[in-house]
Amino acid sequence: MFHVPNEYRVLNGALSSTNDDGNNGCFSIPFQSPYTVEVIASDGEGWEHVSVHMVNQYLKTKGKPPFVIPPWEVMNIIKDIFWDKEDCAMQLHPPKNAYVNNHKYTLHLWKPIGVPIPRPQSWMVGVAVADVVEPPSVYITVLQGLTEQLNTNPLYYDSWEQSLEDTIHKHIPEDPDGIAIQIANDFLQSFLHTKIQ
């Protein structure tokens, strides 16, 4: 759930707002001295959104450029301040023709309202620290077999979709959610793209 830290709401100046503005407004969050984290939050047009940059208050008092791009650790903290810890929010790298950069030191977090964000299986990202999650070994066996077939049989490219299903069903007779097929399909798409290149 999206929520804002009203205790850090900016109440004066051009970006001021009040608690009546709900999840919209500017927030200045104290961080490790001499930094503050400046956040503009909104929840309109179907999106929950924060834009984030850091300000070195010492440099600001000296009249020097004070802005700093927030590192991953700061973005992670901000995500947990403005959303529940189990919510998923994302940073986006848009197509070049849709790129907008009004503040080169600002990063953004987005969450579509009422729409789950698709995510890869955690083992595809890396090893979880608290709970090691690995793909079932039979999936790896299937993918290794498919890799060998693709490397040795060029004709396999013409019928890989059917061969994929046959191979999966041979090794994994019960796959009610289609997880094995999806994993293998993603792998093959990547493999074939590499081969075509």
pLDDT tens digits along 71-113: 999 999 999 999 999 999 999 999 999 999 999 999 999 999 9
Residue whose structure tokens are 């830290």: 5
How many other CB atoms are there within 10 angstroms of residue 58's CB atom?
12
pLDDT tens digits along 118-169: 998 877 876 665 544 445 555 556 556 666 665 666 555 455 555 666 666 6
- pTM of the complete model: 0.64
Domain residue extents for the chain: 6-112, 137-196
